[in-house]
Amino acid sequence: MTDLVALRRALHARPELAFTEIETAAKVVTELTGRADSIQAGTAVCDLDCVTGLPDPDQLEASRRRALASGVPQELVRTLGEGATGVVVTVRGRRPGPTIGIRFDMDAIAVGESTSPAHAPTRGGFASTRPGIMHACGHDGHVAVGIELGRRLCADRDFAGRVLLVFQPGEEGVRGAQAMVAAGVVDDVSVMLGLHLGIDLPVGTVAAGTQGLLATQKLRVEFEGEAAHAALAPHQGRNALLGAASASLALHTLPPHGDHTTRVNVGRLVAGTAAGIVPERAVMDCELRADDETVLEWLRGRAGDIVRGAARSYGLAASVTQMGAATVARCDARLVQDLMTAASTLAAVQTSLASAPMRASDDMTLFMSHVQERGGVATFALVGASSPAPHHHPLFDIDERALPIAADWLERLIRAGL
C-alpha cells in the first residue's frame, strides 16, 4: 500500500463535518510543516463573518475534544477549533512564474456508511469510525492527493511560479469557499484549478473541464407560530409543523423549467417539541439549483412565495436565510488544453475528455469566478474513480488507482509550466 492510499484510508476512517475538520486540517499541517514555504490556517485564511450556520458551540467543543483525544496538538486545536479549519500551503518553484491555486475540499457528510462486506472500506477495515458521518463524496481522496502533491512539489522545486494548495472546509453546504475567497487567499492567483474524483467516470478516464455545474443557494427557512395545549385549546395554536409540511410539499411541486435544469430539495425539517403541544417552531434546510443564474433567481422568487404563502396560510412568521451559495462554471479553453496535454503523458489514463458533465454544485465555482473576474483562468477537472454507487450514497467509494492519477496529473501540469 502506497503512502497516498494509506493517507486516504486514514482520512476515510475519521470523517469530519463542515467546519469541524480539525483532524483533517491538522493532518495537512503536520504532513507539510517543515517542507512547505509557508502554512497558514484558521481565521487568517477563513473569514467566518460570511459563514452562516456554523456548528453550535457544543458541537465545536465536541469536535475539539475529539481532535485532542486523537492526538492533535493543543495549539493546532486552538487555531482550527472555532470553525476556521481552512489551510493554505505555499510552495515556491525554482523558477519565476504565475501563482497557481489548487483547491482541495476536506469535509464529509451526514450519511451513515454501509456496513456491507461488499463495500470496500468495510471489507478493508477503514470504514468510518463515526456513526452517521461518511466521506461519501471523495473529499478524503482530495485531501490525500493535495498532501501528496505538496510533498512532491516541496521535495523537487523544479517548476515555475508559486503553488497555493488551498484546503477548504465546508464544501458540502457550499459555505467554505466564500469564507476563503473573502479572506483573500486567491486574490493573487492567476491560474485556478480544482479537481473532483468520481462524478460517474470510470478509473482511467479524466476530464479537463466540466459542464453543467449548477448554481445553487442553500436556504434555511424558519417558521414561528404559537404553541398551545393540543387537546384543551388547539384553536389557540399556530401550527409551525403544518406550515413547514405544506411548504415542503409545495417546494417539491415547483415545476421543472422547460429550457433549463433545475433542482429543489428540502433536506432537513425539524419541528415541534412533544406530542401534546401544537408545534410553535419549525426549521427547514433547503437547496435550489439551476444551470443558469437567472433561472436560479426565478426559482428563488417562487420558493420565497411558497414560504410566505405557507406562513400566511398557517398564521406564522417566516424567515429565509441564505446559508451557502455556488455559481455556474466556465472552464477556460487554454487551461483545458494544458490539462489535456498533461493527461496525454500519463500511461494510466486511457481516455481524456476536454469536458464532462457534472450536474451537481460545488463552491469551487466561487474561486473560479473570483479569479476569472480578476483576469485569471480557471478550470475544474474530473478524475474517474469507478464508484459502485452515486455520490452521497452509503455505498459510494473510489477506486484507489484514481489517487496517483490525480496526483500525477496535477504534478505534470505544474512542471510543464502554466
Q: Which is nearer to its own copies, 73 or 132 (CB)?
A: 132
At which residue does the C-alpha cell 500511461 appear? Answer: 347
- Counting contacts by CB under 8 A, is residue 239 touching its own copies? yes
Q: Could you tell me the smallest distance in angstroms from the CB atom of residue 161 to its own copies?
A: 34
- Counting contacts by CB under 8 A, is residue 417 touching its own copies? no
Q: Could you tell me the smallest distance in angstroms from the CB atom of residue 393 to its own copies?
A: 7
- Counting contacts by CB under 8 A, is residue 289 touching its own copies? yes
- Counting contacts by CB under 8 A, is residue 219 touching its own copies? yes
Of residues 77, 84, 271, 410, which one binds its own copies by CB under 8 A? 271
Of residues 75, 258, 347, 373, which one binds its own copies by CB under 8 A? 258
Q: Which is nearer to its own copies, 188 or 224 (CB)?
A: 224
- Counting contacts by CB under 8 A, is residue 37 touching its own copies? no
- Counting contacts by CB under 8 A, is residue 293 touching its own copies? no
Site residue total, its own copies (CB under 8 A): 82
DSSP result, 385-408: ---SS-TTSTT----TTHHHHHHH
| CA separation for the pair 120, 294 (Å, rounded) | 42
- Counting contacts by CB under 8 A, is residue 207 touching its own copies? no
- Counting contacts by CB under 8 A, is residue 302 touching its own copies? yes
| CA separation for the pair 343, 366 (Å, rounded) | 25
Q: Could you tell me the smallest distance in angstroms from the CB atom of residue 394 to its own copies?
A: 7
| CA separation for the pair 112, 393 (Å, rounded) | 9
DSSP result, 13-61: HS---TT--HHHHHHHHHHHTTTSSEEEEGGGT--GGG--SPPPHHHHH
Q: Which is nearer to its own copies, 38 or 273 (CB)?
A: 273
Q: Could you tell me the smallest distance in angstroms from the CB atom of residue 237 to its own copies?
A: 6
Q: Which is nearer to its own copies, 99 or 262 (CB)?
A: 262
- Counting contacts by CB under 8 A, is residue 197 touching its own copies? no
- Counting contacts by CB under 8 A, is residue 232 touching its own copies? yes
CB atoms within 10 A of CB 188: 14
Select the span of 39-47, 115-123, 369-377, 391-399 touching its own copies (CB under 8 A): 391-399
Residues 83-142 that bind its own copies (CB under 8 A): 109-111, 132
- Counting contacts by CB under 8 A, is residue 69 touching its own copies? no
| CA separation for the pair 64, 62 (Å, rounded) | 5
- Counting contacts by CB under 8 A, is residue 278 touching its own copies? yes
Residues 359-378 that bind its own copies (CB under 8 A): 359-361
Do 62 and 123 form a contact (C-beta atoms < 8 A)? no
| CA separation for the pair 185, 319 (Å, rounded) | 32
In our burial notation (b when 16+ CB lie closer than 10 A, e otherwise), range 27-43 reads bbbebbeeebeebbbbb
Select the span of 80-88, 93-101, 186-194, 259-267 touching its own copies (CB under 8 A): 259-267
Do 201 and 207 form a contact (C-beta atoms < 8 A)? yes
Q: Which is nearer to its own copies, 36 or 299 (CB)?
A: 299
Do 113 and 122 form a contact (C-beta atoms < 8 A)? yes
- Counting contacts by CB under 8 A, is residue 294 touching its own copies? no
Cα–Cα distance list, 293 to 109, 213, 221, 262, 370 (Å)? 26, 11, 21, 11, 16
- Sign for the CA dihedral angle at 242, 248, 253, 259 comes to positive
Q: Are strands 215-224 and 317-326 parallel, antiparallel or unpaired?
A: antiparallel
Residues 133-172 that bind its own copies (CB under 8 A): 172
Q: Could you tell me the smallest distance in angstroms from the CB atom of residue 167 to its own copies?
A: 21
Q: Which is nearer to its own copies, 93 or 194 (CB)?
A: 194
**CA-based angle 185:189:195, to the nearest 5?**
85
- Counting contacts by CB under 8 A, is residue 391 touching its own copies? yes
- Counting contacts by CB under 8 A, is residue 184 touching its own copies? no
SS3 of 105, please?
A: strand
Dig out the grid coordinates for 199 from the structure. Answer: 462524478
- Counting contacts by CB under 8 A, is residue 272 touching its own copies? yes
Of residues 35, 392, 401, 415, which one binds its own copies by CB under 8 A? 392
Beta bridge partners of 293: none
Residue type at 387?
Answer: S
